Amino acid sequence: MDSKDKDHILSLKVMRLTRPSLFTGLAVGCDARDLPGDHLNADIRADIAIPQGLPNTGVGHMLLLPQSFGNIYLGETFSCCLCVHNDGNETIREVSIKAVLQMSNQRVPLLGEEENEMLHQLEGNGTINEVIQHEVKDIGTHILVCAVSYLSVSGDRLSFRKFFKFQVMKPLDVKTKFYNAEASWPDLRKIYMTVGTAESDEVYLEAGVQNITSGPLCLEKVELEPSPYFSVISMNKISQDSNTLVFGRMNVVNPHDTRQYLYCLKPKPEARSNPAALRQATAIGKLDIVWRTNMGDRGRLQTSQLQRMAPQYGDVRVTVERIPNVVRLEEQFEVGLSITNICERTLELHLDFLEGGGGTEWSGVSSHSLPSLQPGQSTNLSLSLVPLQTGLQTIAGVRLTDTFLKRTYNYENLAQVFITNEKSQEKEAFFSAWVNGTVPN
């Protein structure tokens, strides 16, 4: 950007500071049997800007200085150099340079707004250079306002301003989906054996990050900063013990391509102890994304607070707290349930067993009343089942009845358990080790 006012002895130039790009050219070759023979190919081989061995790619190995203002994307750092030149031979005193960046909703001072501003003295044909930087945090139209004031040779205070307009564009498109987990799946090897709770506190976030710039981007970091209610587990690594991402060490995303990220959020212990507050917690956290362009320019973007629909638990919440992974056929086992009152009144509940489990049957009194539950209070139950069929079997569930409102809550498919008739302890130990991911290589 170049500007000069003929009425002033000083002129102002504003130059954006950007990294160079790789030289690209049009490689025109021909077959040796054509009329030009090998002349065009010889010219290509003699071009110093074209890498050896790759004459027809059009991508050179030499750096090219920027020829235009270029694109500016949200999250990048805008850098420019303000150059004030004295076009005369006399010395100009008390030269002041100010720069302000104006957006639609705010005004950001970048230079010369200090109380003890330094005034420059500019010799004849001399130059003052000032570099300013600003991390761009808003999209849309930006106006860089540069003001220069000075004391003329005659002693008059003169000033002029220049305006430079540019657009800030969006580099990434982030789309999110939330899933309230019905079952907890901490490891792929436990898919067939893991407990599936009737109501899980876990929330899964799927985030799609799309590159909408004109060039490739290297995503250095895509992390979820959870809200105070949750802790987060990133599910984008080969394993939890490894730092290797599923996308590889160099996560390069071409224009219009999308990367899918998955995170599991679990309530913190203090949030679990307050179910009513947890039910109202809709803020999940913020995505923090850091990337670099193909020439190494760094950008950073943080989303606003991600919101989800709060799960509707009603007045009662039931979770499976304890269950074995593997049980033997016809050998009784225990299931631990936690029942929590998340309403604001005392609950009088009655418990009934549901039928239809198929592979398991409840053992014990099938219908009985539970102790009164105060608001926020929980009670733990230990219930017995008898496995009747081998394989992966589903536990039917229970029914809770609010005796005051005559309202019923059915909790079907409480959990799944693997039933085996294998009597060999050695084989069972190996199977359990495989379930827990501790099988030696």
Beta strands per DSSP E along 212-369: 217-226, 230-234, 252-253, 258-267, 283-293, 298-302, 306-307, 316-322, 326-328, 333-341, 349-353, 360-363, 367-369
Mean pLDDT of the chain: 80
Amino acid at 178: F
Per-residue pLDDT at 437? 56
Most confident of 14-23, 94-103, 186-195: 94-103
Token reading at 357: 């489990």
Per-residue pLDDT, averaged over 75-80, amounts to: 91
pTM higher than the cut 0.85? no
Residue 249 · residue 237 · CB < 8 Å:
no
Strand order in the sheet with 326-328: 326-328, 416-420, 391-394
Convert the pLDDT of each residue in 294-323 to its tens digit: 778 889 999 988 887 666 556 787 888 888
Per-residue pLDDT at 224? 93
What's the start-to-end Cα distance of the chain, in Å?
A: 64
Instruction: Answer yes or no: is pLDDT of 99 > 70.
Output: yes
Instruction: Answer yes or no: is pLDDT of 415 > 60.
Output: yes
Per-residue pLDDT at 359? 82
Token reading at 356: 């239809």
Per-residue pLDDT, averaged over 207-217, amounts to: 91
Token reading at 56: 């027809």
The H-or-E segment that residue 311 falls in is: none
Q: How far is CA 211 from the centre of its chain?
A: 13
More confident residue, 2 or 89: 89
Distance CA(149)–CA(162), nearest Å, equals 12
Per-residue pLDDT at 30? 64
Least confident of 93-107, 178-192, 220-234: 178-192
Instruction: Answer yes or no: is pLDDT of 62 > 70.
Output: no
Convert the pLDDT of each residue in 141-155 to its tens digit: 999 999 999 998 888
Percent share of the chain, pLDDT over 90:
27
More confident residue, 2 or 101: 101
Convert the pLDDT of each residue in 170-186 to its tens digit: 999 999 998 876 543 33
Instruction: Report CA-CA distances (Å) from 56 to 48, 125, 246.
Output: 14, 47, 34
Across 212-249, b (16+ Cβ under 10 Å) vs e yields ebeeebebeebbbebbebbebbebbeeeeeeeebeeee
Q: How far is CA 438 from the centre of its chain?
A: 31
Per-residue pLDDT at 3? 42
Q: pLDDT tier at 4 (50, 70, 90 boundaries)?
A: very low
Instruction: Answer yes or no: is pLDDT of 212 > 80.
Output: yes
Polymer length of the chain:
441
Per-residue pLDDT, averaged over 69-94, amounts to: 89
Instruction: Answer yes or no: is pLDDT of 377 > 90.
Output: no
Per-residue pLDDT, averaged over 42-68, amounts to: 65
Q: pLDDT tier at 357 (50, 70, 90 boundaries)?
A: low
Least confident of 206-215, 336-345, 380-389: 336-345
More confident residue, 132 or 267: 132
